[in-house]
């Protein structure tokens, strides 16, 4: 049996304040390879804290987080950064594309850590193929529709062949037509075996995932 991609065990995150804020409380979650999980919950419930934890951008106060079987909570900063760079692809609501670079450059230049530099441009072209954006490779992001920008951002996230695609409100800036296109793409990526976690407050988005978990006041429950 493979290790699950994500295994959180009793993860808590408290922020120092008076009284302390308990953003995650004893969260346990296991996500297998190929799972597509939506995380829902009201504003302030702990979704971003969970995403930051899963993305190795924040450390739990207590508990264990194994990513591909690697215990991440005890890694030093450099090792954590390498694990993040090689195993996690991020997709954000606001796309975060470089405005003065072409789509292809945005994808190819994303890779800061490791990777095989010689094949970088070929792999960027293939990533664009996978999101149906080959015909926009030479465009500047400003000339793209919102849906195309997000597809370019997803191609960038796929560049390093991550084990985990972590999406934070990926359709939050899109109209309904472009939302549908991006959700279709996530379905295709799921079919290709990608492991996807999507944070969203939109029912339309969470309905597409195979599995839904809810966070309320830092407590996670399976739906």
Residues lying near Mg ion in the complex (CB under 5 A)? 47-48
Q: Say what angle helices 146-158 and 176-191 make with each other, to 10 degrees.
A: 20
Q: What angle do CA 107, 109, 111 make, to 5 degrees?
A: 90
Contact with ligand ADP (CB under 6 A) among 1, 2, 17, 18: 17
Residue with the CB atom nearest Mg ion in the bound state: 48
171 binds, among ligand ADP, Mg ion, none (CB under 5 to 8 A by kind): none
Q: Select 160 or 170, whichever has its Cβ closest to Mg ion.
A: 170
23 binds, among ligand ADP, Mg ion, none (CB under 5 to 8 A by kind): ligand ADP
Binding of ligand ADP at residue 41 (CB under 6 A)? yes
Shortest CB 6 distance to ligand ADP, Å: 17
Count of residues of this chain found to bind ligand ADP when the rule CB under 6 A is applied: 12
Q: Select 57 or 109, whichever has its Cβ closest to Mg ion.
A: 57
Distance spanning both ends of the chain, measured CA to CA: 25
**Dihedral sign of CA atoms 103, 109, 115, 118 in order:** positive
The answer to whether the bond into 19 is cis (omega within 30° of 0) is yes
Q: Of 17-25, 62-70, 111-119, 154-162, which segment contacts ligand ADP by CB under 6 A?
A: 17-25
The pair of three-digit structure tokens given for residue 150, joined into one six-digit string: 């997000």
Shortest CB 37 distance to ligand ADP, Å: 16
Q: Which residues have a Cβ under 8 Å from the Cβ of 35 and sit 6 or more positions away?
A: 5, 195, 196, 210, 211
Q: Select 57 or 75, whichever has its Cβ closest to ligand ADP.
A: 57
Residues 15 and 209: their CA atoms lie apart, in Å, by: 30
Residues lying near ligand ADP in the complex (CB under 6 A) are found at: 15, 17, 21, 23, 41, 43-49
């Amino acid at each position: 049996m493979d290790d699950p991609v994500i295994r959180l065990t009793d993860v808590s995150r408290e922020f120092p304040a008076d009284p302390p804020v308990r953003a995650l409380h004893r969260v346990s979650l296991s996500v297998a390879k190929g799972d597509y999980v939506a995380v829902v919950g009201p504003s302030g419930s702990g979704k971003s804290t969970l995403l930051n934890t899963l993305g190795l951008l924040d450390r739990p106060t207590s508990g264990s987080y194994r990513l591909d079987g690697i215990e991440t909570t005890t890694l030093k900063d450099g090792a954590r950064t390498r694990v993040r760079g090689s195993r996690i692809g991020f997709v954000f609501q606001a796309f975060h594309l470089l405005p003065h670079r072409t789509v292809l450059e945005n994808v190819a230049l994303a890779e800061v850590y490791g990777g095989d530099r010689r094949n970088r441009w070929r792999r960027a072209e293939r990533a664009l193929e996978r999101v149906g954006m080959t015909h926009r490779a030479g465009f500047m992001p400003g000339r793209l529709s919102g849906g195309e920008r997000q597809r370019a951002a997803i191609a960038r996230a796929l560049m390093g062949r991550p084990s985990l695609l972590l999406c934070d409100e990926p359709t939050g800036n899109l109209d309904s037509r472009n939302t549908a296109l991006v959700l279709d793409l996530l379905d295709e990526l799921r079919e290709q075996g990608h492991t996807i976690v999507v944070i969203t407050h939109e029912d339309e988005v969470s309905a597409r995932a195979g599995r839904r978990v809810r966070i309320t006041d830092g407590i996670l429950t399976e739906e």
